[in-house]
């Protein structure tokens, strides 16, 4: 029986490593809670508290998230795949980012693989803790990242300007 585990590009001919799969756990929730305190204080570079509205409950749900800035634009990457915040962002079409008391609302636009490739490559260079969830190595060409864009949704963050100001 063939191994269904996805494998990354293997230009060297050796065995490619499988990408780690995300599994929610109590330890992950505790880690997120600790990280949230550090993010609120502004101690974690490029990381914000991402709030989405639950698509079923309507309740606000908050998670730490690293934002990538590239070519004057801001991007939100889902390193663990289509997890709950991704489904909520798709359903609502908007998210809120908070850091050090500053809160900003954004519309989100999910981008195709060709546009996501360079952003994913940059993300892996910035968010080093998530590297095991990617098949492409940090030094791989952009094409390798575009090839796995279907496993890591990428959203462009478009500022929502409050017309009441």
Consecutive sets of 10 residues in the chain, 165 residues long: mean pLDDT of each? Answer: 41 49 62 68 81 94 91 94 95 95 95 96 92 92 95 97 65
Which residues contact residue 133 at a Cβ distance below 8 angstroms, ignoring those fewer than 6 apart?
19, 20, 21, 22, 79, 80, 81, 152
pLDDT (0 to 100) of residue 6: 43
Instruction: Please check whether residue 63 is in contact with residue 50, taking contact to mean a CB–CB distance below 8 angstroms.
Output: yes
What is the DSSP pairing of strand 60-70 with strand 102-110? unpaired
What is the model's pLDDT at position 13? 39
Instruction: Tell the CATH superfamily of the 48-159 domain.
Output: Electron Transport, Fmn-binding Protein; Chain A (2.30.110.10)
Give residue 12's pLDDT. Answer: 41
Q: Is the dihedral of CA 37, 108, 150, 11 positive or negative?
A: negative
- Among 64, 127, 72, smallest CA distance to 97 is for 64
For residue 11, the model assigns a pLDDT of: 42
Phi, psi of 62 (to 5 degrees): -125, 135
pLDDT of residue 114: 93
- pTM for this prediction: 0.78
Cβ atoms 1, 139 nearer than 8 A: no
């Amino acid at each position: 029986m063939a191994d269904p585990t996805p494998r990354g590009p293997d230009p060297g001919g050796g065995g490619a490593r499988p990408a780690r799969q995300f599994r929610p756990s109590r330890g992950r929730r505790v880690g997120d809670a600790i990280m949230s305190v550090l993010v609120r204080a502004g101690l974690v570079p490029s990381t914000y508290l991402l709030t989405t509205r639950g698509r079923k409950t309507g309740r606000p749900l908050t998670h730490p998230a690293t934002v990538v800035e590239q070519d004057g634009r801001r991007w939100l990457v889902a390193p663990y795949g289509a997890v709950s915040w991704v489904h909520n962002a798709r359903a609502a079409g908007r998210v809120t980012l908070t850091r050090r008391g500053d809160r900003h609302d954004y519309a989100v636009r999910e981008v195709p693989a060709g546009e996501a490739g360079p952003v994913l490559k940059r993300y892996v260079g910035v968010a080093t803790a998530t590297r095991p969830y990617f098949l492409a190595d940090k030094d791989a060409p952009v094409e390798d990242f575009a090839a796995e864009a279907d496993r890591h949704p990428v959203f462009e963050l478009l500022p929502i300007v409050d017309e009441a100001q």
